[in-house]
Structure 1
């Protein structure tokens, strides 16, 4: 995969996202459906496409500390410790997010986030200057697809843009999910 292809796909996806669209894209784990995490209407489109209740929050991807601190005023020290020692993609659920759409925040005022280095996602967020919604590319309650060819036609037909990268790649496992409260409570949701 050339840098030129990644840059072209970043440009195409960005044009769709900045106009309120939703994309189907490869993440560092599984294929995801995404949009601008500050756009409430675009997030509603994802909930509708996945046939998912809006009370079941989704996660956001971020590309670094600056974006993390723009969304979370307080990041517990244990979050940095976990991110430093983990060798696999890890989603952290943190308290009191801000500067994101209200309909992506869980009813308990938390939000799951994952820092990613995967080139496409990283460069797209660099261009957006905002977090990217990430939710598995399946109808709610159905299995998460392990490859592009397993994605349901309803999802393929329902997004505004399909990123043309890694269509032959088998997905990695979904990320580990750990909930970290500002009260220092730590709970593993998915190992």
Structure 2
């Protein structure tokens, strides 16, 4: 497939309209959002959405998020629950996906056969213009090969999907850097199915008590949200995450780097600015300062992909205490490692 690539921003409306025509005709367009780049197709066209799964190599029991340009979602849901209205008013447009009862207009393929649909209004202006000009909602998972780190730059998208999609547009780096928070409001108890930039604490301020779905840590279930099942976000080399007091984590990594080097192995370490100089490893990459979880989140997938350009046999990563935004960061790190982590 001949893939067109346009480096543009939201002001380049002619190119965005050209991309919208691709969507209308059942094609695939990669586009930026504030979270990660998305691989988009007409959410109302089942055949178009099938192409998403084919391009990504994505299992079809993994539902897609439907992206909209405004608050008028009545055609896509049976009704809008009271808590959904509150969350939409508080966090849309933005990195929050809300699961609601779906209407018959949404194909079963998009929702993996579930009777609920995940909907989000992105903050990114280019994304919203693409949806608006397409005049249909756009189903879009992350624009990467399934299982790989999600793309936060147009270069990542070209690396993974050039020749597999009709068009790639954008150019800006995603400012959030991890996928949206997914919250299920179809039951009385509002539940977070995937942690993200909008934290549990943020949501509780708006609607009161919120639960974390225990299925986030289990593999034996049918996922109601993207990112809940299967290994995700993984670099090519095996990744191990070390969780605990920072001093103990550093000592553990030092010892393991030393032992791996004695075996002739090349080791990469993923750290923070505060301790990057304390460890002697073949490849050292910092996520940023531990004082700025937003920067760490924005850097995470890009830094994991950096290791793919090296010849490391193993990556050892610092872990974080799971609160606030670090809950989402740790969710991604654990998925990227295939739950290969140790507490020290």
Counterparts of 2:10 and 2:64 in 1: how far apart (Å)?
29
Deviation at 1:3, TM superposition (A): 5.5
The answer to which of 25-34 and 96-105 deviates more is 96-105
Tell me how far 1:28 sits from its aligned partner. Answer: 2.6
Q: In structure 2, what is the equivalent of residue 24 of structure 1? A: 30
Answering whether residue 24 of structure 2 is matched by residue 13 of structure 1, we say no
Match for 1:131 among 132, 137, 145? 137
Which structure has the larger Rg? 2
Q: CA RMSD in A?
A: 2.0
Quote how far apart the aligned CAs of 1:180 are. 1.3
Alignment of 1:188 onto 2:192: yes
Q: Which residue of the partner structure matches residue 299 of structure 2?
A: none
- Which residue does the alignment assign to 2:66? 60
Of the two structures, which has the highest relative contact order with CA contacts closer than 8 Å and spacing of 6 or more?
1
What is the alpha-carbon distance in structure 2 between the residues aligned to residue 168 and residue 2 of structure 1?
8
Q: In structure 2, the residue corresponding to 1:112 is in which secondary structure?
A: strand
Give secondary structure in 2 for the equivalent of 1:93. strand
C-alpha displacement at 1:79, in angstroms? 0.7
Distance in 2, matches of 1:171 and 1:128, equals 24
- Contact 2:108/2:114 (8 A) holds in 1: no
CA distance in 1, matches of 2:129, 2:15: 10
Q: TM-score, length-normalised on structure 2?
A: 0.50
Structure 1 segments unaligned to the other structure (5+ residues): none
Alignment TM-score, normalising by the size of structure 1: 0.87
Contact 1:147 1:171 in 2 (8 A): no
Segments of 5+ residues of structure 2 without an aligned counterpart are 1-7, 196-344
Instruction: Find the partner of 2:50 among 23, 44, 47.
Output: 44
